[in-house]
Structure 1
Amino acid sequence: MEEDMQPWLAESPAYLERWIDEQEVDRASLERVISGLDIVLQGKVSEHLSGGQEPNLFVPGLLETAWWDNGHFPWLSDVEAATADIMAEFESLGGLTGKRVVANPTELADEGRWSAHYLYYSAKSYPRNLSACPATVRALRPAPGALGCGMTYFSVLDPGTHIAAHTGFTNAHLRCHLGLVTPKGARMRVGGETRTWEPGKAFVFDDSFDHEVWNDSDQGRAVLLFDIWHPELTEIEVRAITYLMEVSRKLIYRNFWAKEFVA
């Protein structure tokens, strides 16, 4: 994946500088974002992290912890309270047994099958699924970034599935899981700690830490997965990172089609 990311990363600082000028933003207010791009391009991210994180888009100076206490997120209890409605909408999309939008979303399932019903994929919306899930959208609206900063989807693991160890795209996001169908034998490791899901209970972790998932049960496992902004980011940093993610998608698509045409 690193090879795919490098072309857009190399061009990102120039795009960001133009955006700063166009938006008339105080450059000093984005020092962390600017510095993070430079650190990534120099290949020195590991020198600025405590270990176990390998983000492609890096913001230095943010709190680094693999698992977060739910007390940091007062809106999370309302998401949990909406579990019954969210579960009903998951079932309306097909649930565990219906047609899945995407099988093995990132090709990380080296055993079994991992699949997804997307509401957002890399901040790109799936309008049909969103319109079918008004209660889910309503529950997620207070969560900063849950409706469009990154990934939001119903994640399904078939029995016997293993998702290989990997790290997420950026430390500017945190990731939330709300347990929907949570059989014994399903578990997740983030950093050095492994946890299990519970129906109607949510947890928050930093997916830029090394993590992997197992479903060793004889039943499917389902969670509502959604990204939120790291709570220590400022409003202008969020705006800049949102813009950089838009740039990354455009440049990645451009490079992909350029390779296709050359081939």
Structure 2
Amino acid sequence: MTDPMELFRRGDFAAAAEALLPLYRQNMRNSMLALFTGGALLKSGRKEEAVAVWSLGDEAGPVVRGARRDQKAPPGVRALSTEADRALRDYLTALHAKAAEECDGDVARVKNAVWTQTHNQPFQFLTDAQAPTIFYMPDLPAAPVTPKDAFDWAAGLEAAGPAIAAEYAAALERKVQQTPYVPAGTPSPQWAKLRGTLDWSALHLFDKTKRTAIADLFPKTLEALEKVGLVRIDGVPVEAFFSRLKPGAHIPPHFGLTNARLTVHLPLIVPEDCAIRVADKNYHWTENEIIAFDDSYRHEAWNHARTDRVVLIFECYHPDLSADERRAIEHTWAARQHWIKNRVKIAGAA
């Protein structure tokens, strides 16, 4: 049997693809194997499969898109990594454009949006303090914090605060387990002090667009949230959770996913010496008074008190977005999520 890499080097890409694919499907965490499998697929005219393999490989390790910047990598690997990065950017940018074109109404600002990790053209953020990590709408007005009178649901949610706090307390009485907000496997060094710990923990009602098993314990909370314009994908809220920050905990400065959404805090338990900083200003929580901020700005939070700080957190849309634009954003995000979920099937590894 001819070595698949020898087939690749000889330029017999169709045969190389057929030989590499079974090996890749047996070892999908091998990002170097993903790089060459995707290359053989692309060069034999199988672009959609190539992009799916490269995308999966990019999640498995830094080689697929990172080797192009590694001066120690062999020239052939760097060249193929450059090709993979370009193909991924072109494919995913086209996917967004196609999904946006399917939407009704004036959605020009959505069409102009940038998926910051995979856009295929250069772009700049409006301010140094704002750098969304996933999705950026450069035409949206930018403000670190939005006054609560911009939301017609704010007063109703604040009025429900005591009942929501009571449901949270009841859940603790029932020994419902909190989970670390920063997973133990998070690689970034900035999360070293929080990853896998309960210093910053959560009780999720919705997580990654899925309703959790404990959501039924919070009927009054869910009722209050139904009256809020939660961000949804395929009709399901993206996230809503109780966030606990233990005494002494500090959430380091970081940027959120997108400027198309605002993060809303409903403070439930607020000791004196704790605060959140958004851009260049500190804000102090007050129980049952919401704070709505654009978390694509640099932000951090701390609890220097001797007791827990607890807030209910969820996402709503930027108030400047029209109903058509909100539907278009949901549609473009859903299109991308559907493609991500189908990558393994596209790569033939399902």
The TM-score normalised by the length of structure 2 is: 0.63
Task: Identify the match of residue 187 of structure 1 among 267, 271, 275.
Answer: 275
Task: Identify the match of residue 104 of structure 2 among 15, 19, 25.
Answer: 25
Q: Distance in 2 between matches of 1:120 and 1:146?
A: 11
Contact 2:115–2:136, Cα closer than 8 Å, also in 1? no
Residue matched to 2:200: 114
More strand by share: 1
Task: Identify the match of residue 121 of structure 2 among 26, 42, 45.
Answer: 42
Residue matched to 1:213: 301
Residue matched to 1:12: 92
One-letter amino acid matched to 1:14: A
Is the aligned partner of 1:140 residue 2:219? no
Backbone CA RMSD of aligned residues: 3.2
Contact 1:79–1:140, Cα closer than 8 Å, also in 2? yes
Which deviates the most, 211-220 or 12-21? 12-21
Deviation, structure 1 residue 222: 0.5
One-letter amino acid matched to 2:139: G
Residue matched to 2:75: none
One-letter amino acid matched to 1:124: K
Q: Distance in 1 between matches of 2:274 and 2:250?
A: 10
Q: Identify if the C-alpha distance between structure 1 residues 186 and 109 changes in structure 2 by more than 3 Å, giving closer, same or farther.
A: farther
Q: Deviations 1:212-260 (Å, cap 9, x if unpaired)?
A: 011111211110011001111122221221123234444555679999x
Q: Distance in 2 between matches of 1:133 and 1:169?
A: 27
Deviation, structure 1 residue 149: 4.8
Is the aligned partner of 1:153 residue 2:224? no
Q: Identify if the C-alpha distance between structure 1 residues 84 and 75 changes in structure 2 by more than 3 Å, giving closer, same or farther.
A: same
Q: Deviations 1:84-114 (Å, cap 9, x if unpaired)?
A: 1101221233279751144425954735711
| Greater C-alpha Rg | 2
Q: Distance in 1 between matches of 2:312 and 2:88?
A: 30
One-letter amino acid matched to 2:242: F
Q: Identify if the C-alpha distance between structure 1 residues 141 and 31 changes in structure 2 by more than 3 Å, giving closer, same or farther.
A: same
Q: Identify if the C-alpha distance between structure 1 residues 252 and 110 changes in structure 2 by more than 3 Å, giving closer, same or farther.
A: farther
Which deviates the most, 245-254 or 233-242? 245-254
Task: Identify the match of residue 63 of structure 1 among 115, 119, 141.
Answer: 141
Deviation, structure 1 residue 43: 4.0
Q: Deviations 1:141-179 (Å, cap 9, x if unpaired)?
A: 222125645331101111111111111111110111011
Aligned residues: 252
Deviation, structure 1 residue 124: 2.7
Which deviates the most, 154-163 or 137-146? 137-146
Q: Distance in 1 between matches of 2:142 and 2:314?
A: 19
Task: Identify the match of residue 131 of structure 1 among 216, 219, 224.
Answer: 216
Which deviates the most, 195-204 or 34-43? 34-43
Q: Distance in 2 between matches of 1:253 and 1:102?
A: 25
Is the aligned partner of 1:165 residue 2:253? yes
Q: Distance in 1 between matches of 2:90 and 2:141?
A: 26
Is the aligned partner of 1:77 residue 2:160? no
Alignment partner of 1:244: what SS?
Answer: helix
5+ residue gaps, structure 2, are 1-57, 60-64, 66-84
Q: Distance in 2 between matches of 1:52 and 1:90?
A: 34
The TM-score normalised by the length of structure 1 is: 0.82
Q: Distance in 2 between matches of 1:157 and 1:223?
A: 9
Deviation, structure 1 residue 19: 3.4
